[in-house]
C-alpha cells in the first residue's frame, strides 16, 4: 500500500492572476484540484510546507489527503511551477483519485549492489542512462522507486528494462529494450586492451617459429650421414695392392 500523507490547504474563493499574486504575498502558493469527473477547486497551500515536501523528494508520486470544508480529497500532485529566477514554487496542481483508479507515474531508478559489480571492481563507473521509469499502476500501489541490481555487470555491459522485475500489478510504459544502466570503462582502458592484444600476438610469433628449431638435429644429421664414404676411404687405401 502506498503511504498517504496529510497536506494542509485552504479554499481560494477567488481565481485569476491578481488573486494568485495576493496569495503569494501572504506566504501561500495557489493551486488547483481537478479530475474524477468533478469541477476544479481552487486552493492555496503554505509556501514553507510545500517547499519542504518538494525538496524531500518523491513529491509527484506521493498520495495526499487534503481536507476542504470538512471533506477530504485524496489527490496526487501532477505538476508544480517554480519561479524562473528565485526558484520557489508559484503554483501546484493536484489530481483527484477515485477509488480503484489507475494512474501513470514516473518513478525514480535506484541502483543496487554497485560495489559488487566486477566492472566496477576493475575501475569502471556506473552510468545511469534512465533516471526514471514511466509506470501504470493502481493509486494504492505506487512504488516509491524501482531497484536495478548491477552486481553482475562487467565493463561495457548494460542493464535493460527487461532485465529487472517490476512489482506485482505494475506495468511499464517504456520499451523493454530501453537501456537503464551501463558500466563505463576507465580512462585508458581501450589502450590497455590494445597493448595486451599486441603483447599476446608478439608472444605467439616465436612460439610458431619454434618448430623448425626443434628439427635442427635432423638437419645436422645430414653431414654425418655423408661421412660414411670418408670413413670407408681406407678400404681403397688398404686394398691398394695391384697385380704387377
Q: What is the pLDDT of residues 149-207, one digit of tens each?
A: 999 999 999 999 999 999 999 999 998 899 999 999 988 776 777 776 777 777 776 65
* Long-range contacts at 87-90 (CB < 8 A, ≥ 24 apart): 88/47, 88/51, 89/29, 89/47, 89/50, 89/51, 89/54, 90/20, 90/24, 90/29, 90/30
Pairing of strands 125-128, 89-96: unpaired
Question: pLDDT at position 221, please?
Answer: 43
Do 168 and 87 reside in the same domain of the chain? no
Q: Does residue 222 have a pLDDT over 80?
A: no
In this structure, is residue 21 part of a structural domain?
A: yes
Strand partners, 34: 95
In this structure, is residue 239 part of a structural domain?
A: no
Q: Last residue of some domain: 98, 127, 148? A: 98
Do 72 and 30 reside in the same domain of the chain? yes
Number of domains in the chain: 2
Question: pLDDT at position 106, please?
Answer: 92
The more confidently predicted of residues 1 and 32 is 32
In this structure, is residue 234 part of a structural domain?
A: no
CATH number, domain containing residue 172 = 2.170.120.20
Q: Note the helical H segments in the chain.
A: 17-25, 47-55, 118-121, 189-214, 216-226, 228-231, 234-238
Question: pLDDT at position 208, please?
Answer: 53
Residue 31's H or E segment, with its range, is: strand 28-35
Do 124 and 160 reside in the same domain of the chain? yes
Question: pLDDT at position 206, please?
Answer: 61
Digit-coded pLDDT (tens) for 98-110: 888 899 999 999 9
**Owning domain of residue 36:** 4-98
Do 159 and 133 reside in the same domain of the chain? yes
With beta carbons less than 8 A apart as the criterion, state whether 83 and 29 touch.
no
Amino acid at each position: 500500500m502506498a503511504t498517504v500523507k496529510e497536506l494542509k490547504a485552504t479554499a481560494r474563493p477567488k481565481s485569476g492572476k491578481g488573486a494568485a499574486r495576493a496569495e503569494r504575498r501572504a506566504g501561500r502558493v495557489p493551486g488547483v484540484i481537478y479530475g474524477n469527473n468533478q469541477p476544479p477547486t481552487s486552493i492555496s497551500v503554505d509556501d514553507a510546507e510545500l517547499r519542504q515536501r518538494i525538496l524531500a523528494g518523491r513529491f509527484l508520486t506521493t498520495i495526499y489527503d487534503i481536507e476542504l470544508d470538512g471533506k477530504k480529497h485524496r489527490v496526487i500532485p501532477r505538476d508544480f511551477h517554480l519561479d524562473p529566477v528565485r526558484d520557489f514554487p508559484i503554483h501546484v496542481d493536484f489530481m483527484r483519485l477515485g477509488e480503484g483508479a489507475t494512474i501513470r507515474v514516473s518513478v525514480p531508478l535506484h541502483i543496487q549492489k554497485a560495489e559488487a559489480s566486477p566492472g566496477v571492481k576493475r575501475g569502471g563507473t556506473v552510468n545511469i542512462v534512465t533516471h526514471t521509469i514511466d509506470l501504470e499502476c493502481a493509486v494504492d500501489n505506487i512504488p516509491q522507486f524501482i531497484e536495478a541490481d548491477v552486481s553482475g555487470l562487467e565493463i561495457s555491459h548494460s542493464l535493460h528494462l527487461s532485465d529487472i522485475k517490476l512489482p506485482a500489478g505494475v506495468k511499464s510504459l517504456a520499451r523493454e529494450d530501453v537501456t537503464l544502466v551501463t558500466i563505463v570503462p576507465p580512462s585508458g582502458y581501450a589502450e590497455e586492451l590494445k597493448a595486451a592484444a599486441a603483447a599476446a600476438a608478439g608472444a605467439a610469433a616465436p612460439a610458431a617459429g619454434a618448430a623448425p628449431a626443434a628439427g635442427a638435429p635432423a638437419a645436422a644429421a645430414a653431414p654425418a650421414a655423408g661421412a660414411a664414404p670418408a670413413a670407408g676411404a681406407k678400404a681403397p687405401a688398404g686394398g691398394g695392392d695391384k697385380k704387377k
